Structure 1
Protein backbone atom coordinates (compact mmCIF):
# COMPACT_ATOMS: atom_id res chain seq x y z
CA UNK A 1 0.00 0.00 0.00
CA UNK A 2 1.36 3.43 -0.91
CA UNK A 3 2.13 6.00 1.78
CA UNK A 4 -0.65 8.66 1.73
CA UNK A 5 1.87 11.24 3.03
CA UNK A 6 4.44 10.60 0.27
CA UNK A 7 5.07 13.44 -2.18
CA UNK A 8 5.38 11.04 -5.14
CA UNK A 9 3.63 7.83 -6.12
CA UNK A 10 5.95 4.80 -6.52
CA UNK A 11 6.16 3.48 -10.06
CA UNK A 12 4.67 -0.06 -9.97
CA UNK A 13 6.50 -0.96 -13.22
CA UNK A 14 9.99 -0.13 -11.96
CA UNK A 15 10.81 -3.67 -10.79
CA UNK A 16 9.73 -5.21 -14.11
CA UNK A 17 11.67 -2.69 -16.18
CA UNK A 18 14.82 -3.57 -14.23
CA UNK A 19 14.55 -7.16 -15.52
CA UNK A 20 14.13 -6.56 -19.25
CA UNK A 21 15.14 -4.13 -22.00
CA UNK A 22 11.63 -4.49 -23.46
CA UNK A 23 9.49 -1.36 -23.53
CA UNK A 24 7.07 -1.95 -20.67
CA UNK A 25 5.39 0.51 -18.34
CA UNK A 26 6.42 3.57 -20.33
CA UNK A 27 3.92 5.87 -18.65
CA UNK A 28 2.13 8.70 -20.34
CA UNK A 29 1.98 12.46 -20.56
CA UNK A 30 -1.61 13.37 -21.26
CA UNK A 31 -2.65 11.16 -24.17
CA UNK A 32 0.90 10.58 -25.40
CA UNK A 33 4.22 9.08 -24.25
CA UNK A 34 6.55 10.97 -21.94
CA UNK A 35 9.20 12.93 -23.83
CA UNK A 36 12.07 10.78 -22.50
CA UNK A 37 10.44 7.61 -23.84
CA UNK A 38 9.72 9.19 -27.21
CA UNK A 39 13.37 10.27 -27.51
CA UNK A 40 14.58 6.82 -26.42
CA UNK A 41 12.39 5.18 -29.06
CA UNK A 42 13.76 7.51 -31.75
CA UNK A 43 17.34 6.72 -30.72
CA UNK A 44 16.71 2.96 -30.77
CA UNK A 45 15.09 3.21 -34.20
CA UNK A 46 18.08 5.17 -35.51
CA UNK A 47 20.46 2.53 -34.13
CA UNK A 48 18.52 -0.23 -35.86
CA UNK A 49 18.56 1.64 -39.19
CA UNK A 50 22.29 2.33 -38.86
CA UNK A 51 22.96 -1.35 -38.14
CA UNK A 52 21.35 -2.26 -41.48
CA UNK A 53 22.90 0.45 -43.63
CA UNK A 54 26.40 1.02 -42.25
CA UNK A 55 29.00 -0.94 -44.26
CA UNK A 56 31.03 -3.67 -42.62
CA UNK A 57 34.69 -2.81 -41.98
CA UNK A 58 35.91 -6.02 -43.59
CA UNK A 59 39.59 -5.00 -43.48
CA UNK A 60 39.55 -4.54 -39.71
CA UNK A 61 37.62 -7.77 -39.28
CA UNK A 62 40.17 -9.73 -41.32
CA UNK A 63 43.04 -8.33 -39.27
CA UNK A 64 41.35 -9.25 -35.99
CA UNK A 65 40.60 -12.80 -37.12
CA UNK A 66 44.10 -13.34 -38.46
CA UNK A 67 45.54 -12.42 -35.05
CA UNK A 68 43.75 -15.57 -33.80
CA UNK A 69 45.87 -17.64 -36.16
CA UNK A 70 43.19 -18.20 -38.81
CA UNK A 71 43.68 -17.17 -42.46
CA UNK A 72 40.89 -15.23 -44.17
CA UNK A 73 39.35 -14.96 -47.61
CA UNK A 74 37.24 -12.05 -48.88
CA UNK A 75 34.18 -12.52 -51.10
CA UNK A 76 30.95 -10.71 -51.89
CA UNK A 77 27.52 -11.69 -53.09
CA UNK A 78 25.95 -10.87 -56.44
CA UNK A 79 24.19 -7.85 -54.90
CA UNK A 80 26.24 -4.86 -56.14
CA UNK A 81 25.19 -2.43 -53.40
CA UNK A 82 23.17 -2.20 -50.19
CA UNK A 83 19.98 -0.95 -51.82
CA UNK A 84 19.97 -3.88 -54.24
CA UNK A 85 20.79 -6.27 -51.40
CA UNK A 86 17.71 -5.17 -49.46
CA UNK A 87 15.42 -5.31 -52.51
CA UNK A 88 16.78 -8.53 -54.02
CA UNK A 89 17.39 -11.19 -51.33
CA UNK A 90 18.08 -13.76 -54.08
CA UNK A 91 21.24 -11.91 -55.14
CA UNK A 92 22.57 -12.06 -51.59
CA UNK A 93 22.36 -15.87 -51.71
CA UNK A 94 24.87 -16.37 -54.51
CA UNK A 95 28.41 -15.23 -55.19
CA UNK A 96 29.41 -12.58 -57.66
CA UNK A 97 31.41 -13.91 -60.61
CA UNK A 98 34.87 -12.73 -59.47
CA UNK A 99 34.37 -14.19 -55.99
CA UNK A 100 33.23 -17.50 -57.45
CA UNK A 101 36.33 -17.63 -59.66
CA UNK A 102 38.52 -16.80 -56.65
CA UNK A 103 37.10 -19.66 -54.58
CA UNK A 104 37.27 -22.11 -57.48
CA UNK A 105 40.95 -21.20 -57.93
CA UNK A 106 41.58 -21.64 -54.19
CA UNK A 107 40.71 -25.31 -54.48
CA UNK A 108 39.00 -27.67 -52.04
CA UNK A 109 39.47 -26.89 -48.35
CA UNK A 110 37.60 -29.96 -47.18
CA UNK A 111 40.73 -32.09 -46.91
CA UNK A 112 42.14 -29.62 -44.39
CA UNK A 113 38.96 -28.27 -42.78
CA UNK A 114 36.32 -29.92 -40.61
CA UNK A 115 34.28 -26.75 -40.10
CA UNK A 116 34.29 -23.77 -42.44
CA UNK A 117 33.37 -20.43 -40.86
CA UNK A 118 31.70 -17.81 -43.04
CA UNK A 119 31.22 -14.35 -41.55
CA UNK A 120 28.55 -12.34 -43.37
CA UNK A 121 27.32 -8.80 -42.71
CA UNK A 122 23.66 -9.79 -43.16
CA UNK A 123 21.17 -7.26 -41.84
CA UNK A 124 23.41 -5.88 -39.10
CA UNK A 125 27.03 -4.97 -39.72
CA UNK A 126 27.13 -3.76 -36.09
CA UNK A 127 26.43 -7.31 -34.89
CA UNK A 128 29.28 -8.74 -36.96
CA UNK A 129 31.70 -6.00 -35.97
CA UNK A 130 30.99 -6.51 -32.24
CA UNK A 131 30.24 -10.23 -31.90
CA UNK A 132 32.05 -12.20 -34.62
CA UNK A 133 35.61 -12.00 -33.30
CA UNK A 134 34.73 -12.82 -29.65
CA UNK A 135 32.69 -15.80 -30.86
CA UNK A 136 35.48 -17.07 -33.14
CA UNK A 137 37.95 -16.62 -30.29
CA UNK A 138 35.70 -18.76 -28.08
CA UNK A 139 35.41 -21.37 -30.85
CA UNK A 140 39.19 -21.57 -31.16
CA UNK A 141 39.58 -21.85 -27.39
CA UNK A 142 36.96 -24.61 -27.08
CA UNK A 143 37.92 -26.51 -30.23
CA UNK A 144 37.88 -30.28 -29.58
CA UNK A 145 41.05 -32.26 -30.28
CA UNK A 146 41.50 -33.08 -33.94
CA UNK A 147 39.00 -30.55 -35.29
CA UNK A 148 40.28 -28.08 -37.86
CA UNK A 149 39.02 -24.59 -38.71
CA UNK A 150 39.72 -22.25 -41.55
CA UNK A 151 40.13 -20.37 -43.67
CA UNK A 152 37.50 -17.91 -42.41
CA UNK A 153 35.54 -16.44 -45.31
CA UNK A 154 34.41 -12.81 -44.92
CA UNK A 155 31.37 -12.13 -47.11
CA UNK A 156 29.68 -8.79 -47.76
CA UNK A 157 26.09 -8.20 -48.92
CA UNK A 158 25.52 -11.74 -47.65
CA UNK A 159 22.45 -13.81 -46.90
CA UNK A 160 22.57 -17.08 -44.96
CA UNK A 161 22.38 -19.28 -48.06
CA UNK A 162 25.55 -17.70 -49.47
CA UNK A 163 27.36 -20.13 -47.17
CA UNK A 164 26.01 -23.01 -49.29
CA UNK A 165 27.64 -21.63 -52.43
CA UNK A 166 30.91 -20.94 -50.58
CA UNK A 167 30.96 -24.29 -48.83
CA UNK A 168 30.22 -26.22 -52.02
CA UNK A 169 33.01 -24.50 -53.95
CA UNK A 170 35.51 -25.18 -51.16
CA UNK A 171 34.18 -28.75 -50.67
CA UNK A 172 33.72 -28.12 -46.96
CA UNK A 173 32.06 -30.92 -44.95
CA UNK A 174 30.21 -28.37 -42.80
CA UNK A 175 29.76 -24.61 -42.84
CA UNK A 176 28.74 -22.28 -40.03
CA UNK A 177 27.54 -18.86 -41.18
CA UNK A 178 27.98 -16.12 -38.58
CA UNK A 179 25.68 -13.33 -39.74
CA UNK A 180 24.05 -10.15 -38.50
CA UNK A 181 20.41 -10.69 -37.59
CA UNK A 182 17.57 -8.34 -38.39
CA UNK A 183 17.98 -5.60 -35.74
CA UNK A 184 15.30 -5.01 -33.15
CA UNK A 185 14.63 -1.83 -31.22
CA UNK A 186 16.39 -3.27 -28.16
CA UNK A 187 18.91 -5.49 -29.97
CA UNK A 188 20.62 -3.84 -32.96
CA UNK A 189 23.76 -6.00 -32.63
CA UNK A 190 22.48 -9.58 -32.42
CA UNK A 191 24.45 -12.27 -34.26
CA UNK A 192 22.99 -15.49 -35.67
CA UNK A 193 24.87 -18.73 -36.40
CA UNK A 194 23.56 -21.15 -39.05
CA UNK A 195 25.13 -24.61 -39.29
CA UNK A 196 24.73 -26.68 -42.48
CA UNK A 197 26.08 -30.19 -43.11
CA UNK A 198 27.41 -30.91 -46.64
CA UNK A 199 26.60 -27.41 -47.93
CA UNK A 200 25.46 -27.10 -51.53
CA UNK A 201 23.35 -24.65 -53.50
CA UNK A 202 19.68 -25.43 -52.96
CA UNK A 203 19.83 -26.37 -49.29
CA UNK A 204 16.74 -25.16 -47.39
CA UNK A 205 16.42 -23.60 -43.96
CA UNK A 206 14.95 -26.90 -42.74
CA UNK A 207 18.42 -28.39 -43.31
CA UNK A 208 20.16 -25.96 -40.95
CA UNK A 209 20.52 -25.50 -37.20
CA UNK A 210 20.41 -21.98 -35.83
CA UNK A 211 21.81 -20.32 -32.73
CA UNK A 212 20.25 -16.88 -32.32
CA UNK A 213 20.78 -13.67 -30.35
CA UNK A 214 24.51 -14.14 -29.78
CA UNK A 215 25.62 -11.09 -27.79
CA UNK A 216 26.51 -10.14 -24.23
CA UNK A 217 22.86 -9.49 -23.34
CA UNK A 218 21.63 -12.73 -24.94
CA UNK A 219 23.44 -16.00 -25.72
CA UNK A 220 26.96 -15.20 -24.61
CA UNK A 221 29.96 -16.01 -26.79
CA UNK A 222 31.39 -18.86 -24.70
CA UNK A 223 27.99 -20.55 -24.42
CA UNK A 224 27.30 -20.11 -28.14
CA UNK A 225 30.67 -21.71 -28.93
CA UNK A 226 29.90 -24.63 -26.63
CA UNK A 227 26.53 -25.24 -28.25
CA UNK A 228 27.93 -24.93 -31.76
CA UNK A 229 30.71 -27.46 -31.14
CA UNK A 230 28.14 -29.89 -29.71
CA UNK A 231 25.96 -29.49 -32.80
CA UNK A 232 28.95 -29.87 -35.13
CA UNK A 233 30.00 -33.15 -33.51
CA UNK A 234 26.43 -34.44 -33.49
CA UNK A 235 26.04 -33.45 -37.16
CA UNK A 236 29.13 -35.45 -38.08
CA UNK A 237 27.75 -38.50 -36.32
CA UNK A 238 24.33 -38.24 -37.96
CA UNK A 239 25.59 -36.86 -41.29
CA UNK A 240 22.88 -34.19 -41.24
CA UNK A 241 21.75 -30.89 -39.78
CA UNK A 242 18.34 -29.25 -39.53
CA UNK A 243 15.08 -30.64 -38.25
CA UNK A 244 16.63 -34.08 -37.81
CA UNK A 245 19.18 -32.78 -35.33
CA UNK A 246 17.88 -31.60 -31.95
CA UNK A 247 19.96 -29.43 -29.66
CA UNK A 248 20.48 -31.48 -26.49
CA UNK A 249 23.74 -29.72 -25.66
CA UNK A 250 22.47 -28.78 -22.20
CA UNK A 251 21.85 -32.46 -21.40
CA UNK A 252 25.09 -33.94 -22.73
CA UNK A 253 28.83 -33.66 -22.33
CA UNK A 254 29.97 -31.39 -25.18
CA UNK A 255 32.98 -33.50 -26.09
CA UNK A 256 31.21 -36.87 -25.89
CA UNK A 257 27.75 -36.45 -27.46
CA UNK A 258 27.74 -40.10 -28.50
CA UNK A 259 27.66 -41.10 -24.83
CA UNK A 260 24.37 -39.30 -24.26
CA UNK A 261 21.42 -41.46 -23.29
CA UNK A 262 19.22 -39.10 -25.26
CA UNK A 263 19.32 -39.35 -29.10
CA UNK A 264 20.39 -36.46 -31.27
CA UNK A 265 17.12 -36.65 -33.18
CA UNK A 266 13.58 -37.57 -32.25
Structure 2
Protein backbone atom coordinates (compact mmCIF):
# COMPACT_ATOMS: atom_id res chain seq x y z
CA UNK A 1 0.00 0.00 0.00
CA UNK A 2 1.42 3.38 -1.00
CA UNK A 3 1.95 5.91 1.76
CA UNK A 4 -0.34 8.93 1.51
CA UNK A 5 0.99 11.79 -0.57
CA UNK A 6 2.23 14.78 1.42
CA UNK A 7 -0.21 17.66 1.52
CA UNK A 8 0.45 20.38 -1.08
CA UNK A 9 2.28 23.46 0.08
CA UNK A 10 0.04 26.36 0.92
CA UNK A 11 0.55 29.65 -0.89
CA UNK A 12 1.69 31.16 2.39
CA UNK A 13 4.43 28.52 2.69
CA UNK A 14 5.48 29.02 -0.93
CA UNK A 15 5.83 32.76 -0.36
CA UNK A 16 8.18 32.00 2.54
CA UNK A 17 10.45 29.98 0.22
CA UNK A 18 10.86 32.41 -2.65
CA UNK A 19 10.94 36.15 -3.39
CA UNK A 20 8.94 35.43 -6.57
CA UNK A 21 5.45 36.80 -6.79
CA UNK A 22 3.26 33.85 -5.80
CA UNK A 23 -0.41 33.91 -4.95
CA UNK A 24 -0.85 37.67 -5.00
CA UNK A 25 -4.61 37.40 -5.09
CA UNK A 26 -6.88 39.68 -7.05
CA UNK A 27 -9.32 42.48 -6.67
CA UNK A 28 -11.95 42.10 -9.36
CA UNK A 29 -10.00 41.68 -12.60
CA UNK A 30 -6.85 43.32 -11.21
CA UNK A 31 -4.18 42.83 -8.58
CA UNK A 32 -4.80 44.02 -5.03
CA UNK A 33 -3.51 47.54 -4.47
CA UNK A 34 -0.67 46.44 -2.18
CA UNK A 35 0.63 43.91 -4.72
CA UNK A 36 0.41 46.42 -7.56
CA UNK A 37 2.24 49.10 -5.58
CA UNK A 38 4.93 46.58 -4.58
CA UNK A 39 5.45 45.59 -8.21
CA UNK A 40 5.66 49.23 -9.28
CA UNK A 41 8.19 50.01 -6.56
CA UNK A 42 10.42 47.05 -7.45
CA UNK A 43 10.24 47.96 -11.14
CA UNK A 44 11.32 51.52 -10.31
CA UNK A 45 14.22 50.24 -8.22
CA UNK A 46 15.37 48.04 -11.10
CA UNK A 47 15.25 50.99 -13.53
CA UNK A 48 17.11 53.19 -11.04
CA UNK A 49 19.84 50.54 -10.69
CA UNK A 50 20.41 50.51 -14.46
CA UNK A 51 20.75 54.29 -14.62
CA UNK A 52 22.65 54.82 -11.34
CA UNK A 53 25.96 56.67 -11.37
CA UNK A 54 29.06 54.48 -11.29
CA UNK A 55 30.96 55.60 -8.17
CA UNK A 56 34.50 55.23 -9.51
CA UNK A 57 35.95 57.48 -6.81
CA UNK A 58 34.69 55.29 -3.97
CA UNK A 59 35.90 52.16 -5.76
CA UNK A 60 39.36 53.66 -6.26
CA UNK A 61 39.56 54.55 -2.57
CA UNK A 62 38.30 51.15 -1.41
CA UNK A 63 40.67 49.19 -3.65
CA UNK A 64 43.63 51.37 -2.66
CA UNK A 65 42.82 50.62 0.97
CA UNK A 66 43.12 46.92 0.10
CA UNK A 67 46.62 47.46 -1.25
CA UNK A 68 45.59 47.46 -4.91
CA UNK A 69 46.40 50.24 -7.34
CA UNK A 70 43.57 50.31 -9.86
CA UNK A 71 43.76 51.76 -13.34
CA UNK A 72 40.73 53.49 -14.80
CA UNK A 73 39.52 52.81 -18.35
CA UNK A 74 36.39 53.26 -20.45
CA UNK A 75 34.67 51.40 -23.24
CA UNK A 76 33.63 53.08 -26.48
CA UNK A 77 30.15 54.02 -25.24
CA UNK A 78 29.58 57.74 -24.80
CA UNK A 79 26.80 57.71 -22.22
CA UNK A 80 24.29 55.39 -20.54
CA UNK A 81 21.79 55.64 -23.38
CA UNK A 82 24.56 54.62 -25.78
CA UNK A 83 25.47 51.74 -23.47
CA UNK A 84 21.96 50.32 -23.53
CA UNK A 85 21.48 50.73 -27.28
CA UNK A 86 24.91 49.55 -28.44
CA UNK A 87 26.13 46.52 -26.46
CA UNK A 88 28.92 46.03 -29.00
CA UNK A 89 30.57 49.31 -27.99
CA UNK A 90 30.69 48.17 -24.37
CA UNK A 91 32.91 45.25 -25.42
CA UNK A 92 35.71 47.45 -26.82
CA UNK A 93 38.07 49.90 -25.13
CA UNK A 94 38.13 53.46 -26.32
CA UNK A 95 41.39 54.45 -28.04
CA UNK A 96 42.71 56.46 -25.07
CA UNK A 97 42.15 53.61 -22.62
CA UNK A 98 43.77 51.13 -24.98
CA UNK A 99 46.84 53.34 -25.33
CA UNK A 100 47.01 53.75 -21.55
CA UNK A 101 47.02 49.99 -20.97
CA UNK A 102 49.56 49.43 -23.75
CA UNK A 103 51.88 52.01 -22.20
CA UNK A 104 51.38 50.50 -18.76
CA UNK A 105 52.98 47.29 -19.98
CA UNK A 106 52.47 43.71 -18.92
CA UNK A 107 51.55 43.07 -15.29
CA UNK A 108 53.50 40.58 -13.21
CA UNK A 109 50.55 38.69 -11.74
CA UNK A 110 48.70 35.77 -13.26
CA UNK A 111 45.21 37.18 -12.62
CA UNK A 112 43.83 40.49 -13.87
CA UNK A 113 40.94 41.88 -11.82
CA UNK A 114 38.47 44.03 -13.76
CA UNK A 115 35.52 45.77 -12.10
CA UNK A 116 32.89 47.05 -14.51
CA UNK A 117 29.60 48.86 -14.02
CA UNK A 118 27.55 46.57 -16.26
CA UNK A 119 23.77 46.74 -16.16
CA UNK A 120 23.64 47.58 -12.45
CA UNK A 121 26.21 50.13 -11.28
CA UNK A 122 24.33 49.99 -7.97
CA UNK A 123 25.44 46.38 -7.43
CA UNK A 124 29.08 47.25 -8.04
CA UNK A 125 28.96 50.33 -5.82
CA UNK A 126 27.54 48.27 -2.95
CA UNK A 127 29.30 44.92 -3.20
CA UNK A 128 32.53 45.02 -5.23
CA UNK A 129 35.05 46.26 -2.65
CA UNK A 130 33.85 43.92 0.11
CA UNK A 131 33.85 40.95 -2.27
CA UNK A 132 37.42 41.77 -3.33
CA UNK A 133 38.43 41.92 0.34
CA UNK A 134 36.90 38.49 0.97
CA UNK A 135 38.53 37.20 -2.20
CA UNK A 136 41.94 38.31 -0.98
CA UNK A 137 41.40 36.20 2.14
CA UNK A 138 40.09 33.18 0.23
CA UNK A 139 42.51 33.24 -2.69
CA UNK A 140 45.67 32.81 -0.64
CA UNK A 141 48.73 32.75 -2.88
CA UNK A 142 46.98 33.71 -6.13
CA UNK A 143 49.03 36.51 -7.65
CA UNK A 144 46.83 39.43 -8.74
CA UNK A 145 48.51 41.66 -11.30
CA UNK A 146 46.62 44.54 -12.86
CA UNK A 147 43.45 45.84 -11.25
CA UNK A 148 41.23 47.85 -13.58
CA UNK A 149 38.00 49.81 -13.13
CA UNK A 150 36.07 49.93 -16.40
CA UNK A 151 33.18 52.28 -17.16
CA UNK A 152 30.56 51.41 -19.75
CA UNK A 153 31.63 47.78 -19.52
CA UNK A 154 30.17 44.59 -20.88
CA UNK A 155 31.61 41.23 -19.79
CA UNK A 156 33.70 40.78 -22.93
CA UNK A 157 35.58 44.03 -22.29
CA UNK A 158 37.63 42.03 -19.79
CA UNK A 159 39.02 39.92 -22.64
CA UNK A 160 40.70 42.90 -24.30
CA UNK A 161 41.92 44.26 -20.97
CA UNK A 162 43.32 40.89 -19.89
CA UNK A 163 45.15 40.46 -23.18
CA UNK A 164 46.70 43.94 -23.01
CA UNK A 165 48.05 43.46 -19.47
CA UNK A 166 49.32 39.95 -20.24
CA UNK A 167 47.16 38.09 -17.71
CA UNK A 168 46.77 34.33 -17.83
CA UNK A 169 43.23 34.75 -16.51
CA UNK A 170 40.84 37.65 -16.09
CA UNK A 171 38.21 37.97 -13.36
CA UNK A 172 35.45 40.42 -14.22
CA UNK A 173 33.16 41.65 -11.44
CA UNK A 174 30.16 43.36 -13.02
CA UNK A 175 26.62 44.45 -12.22
CA UNK A 176 24.04 41.96 -13.48
CA UNK A 177 20.76 42.83 -15.17
CA UNK A 178 18.46 43.97 -12.33
CA UNK A 179 15.48 41.82 -11.49
CA UNK A 180 12.29 42.76 -9.70
CA UNK A 181 13.54 41.03 -6.55
CA UNK A 182 17.27 41.87 -6.85
CA UNK A 183 18.26 45.23 -8.36
CA UNK A 184 21.78 44.99 -6.88
CA UNK A 185 23.04 41.56 -8.00
CA UNK A 186 26.76 41.25 -8.76
CA UNK A 187 28.26 38.68 -11.13
CA UNK A 188 31.80 37.29 -11.44
CA UNK A 189 33.12 35.98 -14.77
CA UNK A 190 36.40 34.11 -15.18
CA UNK A 191 38.15 33.63 -18.52
CA UNK A 192 41.44 31.78 -19.05
CA UNK A 193 43.84 33.15 -21.70
CA UNK A 194 41.70 36.24 -22.35
CA UNK A 195 41.66 37.66 -25.87
CA UNK A 196 39.17 39.38 -28.12
CA UNK A 197 36.70 36.88 -29.52
CA UNK A 198 36.29 34.63 -26.49
CA UNK A 199 32.75 33.27 -26.13
CA UNK A 200 30.54 32.83 -23.09
CA UNK A 201 31.09 29.07 -23.33
CA UNK A 202 34.73 29.77 -22.43
CA UNK A 203 33.87 31.53 -19.17
CA UNK A 204 32.79 30.48 -15.70
CA UNK A 205 30.19 32.59 -13.96
CA UNK A 206 29.30 33.00 -10.30
CA UNK A 207 26.12 35.07 -10.15
CA UNK A 208 23.45 36.34 -7.78
CA UNK A 209 25.90 37.88 -5.30
CA UNK A 210 23.91 40.20 -3.03
CA UNK A 211 22.61 40.36 0.52
CA UNK A 212 19.62 38.09 -0.12
CA UNK A 213 21.54 35.83 -2.52
CA UNK A 214 25.03 34.34 -2.49
CA UNK A 215 27.09 35.66 0.42
CA UNK A 216 30.46 37.37 -0.01
CA UNK A 217 32.17 34.50 1.80
CA UNK A 218 30.71 31.75 -0.37
CA UNK A 219 31.15 33.71 -3.59
CA UNK A 220 34.81 34.42 -2.75
CA UNK A 221 35.41 30.76 -1.89
CA UNK A 222 33.92 29.54 -5.18
CA UNK A 223 35.73 32.17 -7.24
CA UNK A 224 39.07 31.35 -5.59
CA UNK A 225 38.55 27.64 -6.26
CA UNK A 226 37.78 28.29 -9.93
CA UNK A 227 40.79 30.59 -10.29
CA UNK A 228 43.19 28.05 -8.80
CA UNK A 229 41.78 25.14 -10.80
CA UNK A 230 41.51 27.17 -13.98
CA UNK A 231 45.15 28.24 -13.79
CA UNK A 232 46.26 24.70 -13.00
CA UNK A 233 44.21 23.03 -15.75
CA UNK A 234 44.63 25.99 -18.14
CA UNK A 235 40.94 26.16 -18.99
CA UNK A 236 37.68 27.85 -18.00
CA UNK A 237 34.09 27.56 -19.22
CA UNK A 238 32.23 24.37 -20.00
CA UNK A 239 35.44 22.36 -19.52
CA UNK A 240 35.76 23.51 -15.88
CA UNK A 241 32.96 22.51 -13.51
CA UNK A 242 32.55 24.04 -10.09
CA UNK A 243 33.47 21.12 -7.83
CA UNK A 244 34.37 23.25 -4.83
CA UNK A 245 31.65 21.51 -2.81
CA UNK A 246 30.40 24.71 -1.25
CA UNK A 247 32.00 26.77 1.46
CA UNK A 248 33.32 24.91 4.54
CA UNK A 249 31.35 25.65 7.74
CA UNK A 250 34.34 27.37 9.36
CA UNK A 251 34.39 29.93 6.55
CA UNK A 252 30.68 30.55 6.55
CA UNK A 253 30.63 34.13 7.81
CA UNK A 254 28.29 36.35 5.76
Task: Compute the TM-score of the two structures, normalised by the length of structure 1.
Answer: 0.87
Q: Where in structure 2 are there 5+ consecutive unaligned residues?
A: 1-9, 249-254
Partner of 1:29: 27
Provide, for residues 205-228 of structure 1, a one-character-per-residue CA deviation record: whole Å limited to 9, x for no partner: 111111110112111111111111
**2:57 pairs with 56, 59, 84, which one?**
59
Per the alignment, in what secondary structure is the counterpart of residue 16 of structure 1? helix
Contact in 2 for aligned 1:71/1:150 (Cα 8 Å): no
Please state if 1:47 is matched with 2:45. yes
CA 1:251 to 1:192, structure 2 compared with 1: closer, same or farther past 3 Å? closer
Partner of 2:150: 155
Partner of 1:217: 212
Please state if 1:103 is matched with 2:101. yes
Please state if 1:135 is matched with 2:131. yes
Per the alignment, in what secondary structure is the counterpart of residue 234 of structure 1? helix
Please state if 1:230 is matched with 2:225. yes
Per the alignment, in what secondary structure is the counterpart of residue 117 of structure 1? strand
Distance apart, 1:251 and its partner CA: 7.3
CA 1:44 to 1:251, structure 2 compared with 1: closer, same or farther past 3 Å? closer
Task: State how far apart, in whole Å, the 1-side matches of 2:122 and 2:79 are.
Answer: 17
Contact in 1 for aligned 2:192/2:230 (Cα 8 Å): yes
**1:117 pairs with 113, 116, 140, which one?**
113
**1:80 pairs with 63, 73, 78, which one?**
78
Task: State how far apart, in whole Å, the 2-side matches of 1:126 and 1:144 are.
Answer: 28
Partner of 1:257: none
Mapping of 1:177-216 within 5 angstroms?
177-216=172-211
Provide, for residues 90-136 of structure 1, a one-character-per-residue CA deviation record: whole Å limited to 9, x for no partner: 10001001100110111001xx2121110000000111111111110
RMSD over aligned Cα, in angstroms? 1.4
Task: State how far apart, in whole Å, the 2-side matches of 1:82 and 1:215 are.
Answer: 23
Q: Where in structure 1 are there 5+ consecutive unaligned residues?
A: 1-11, 254-266
Highest CA radius of gyration, 1 or 2? 1
Task: State how far apart, in whole Å, the 2-side matches of 1:19 and 1:116 are.
Answer: 38
Q: Answer 1 or 2: which has greater helix percent.
A: 2
**2:89 pairs with 88, 91, 95, which one?**
91
Distance apart, 1:15 and its partner CA: 2.5
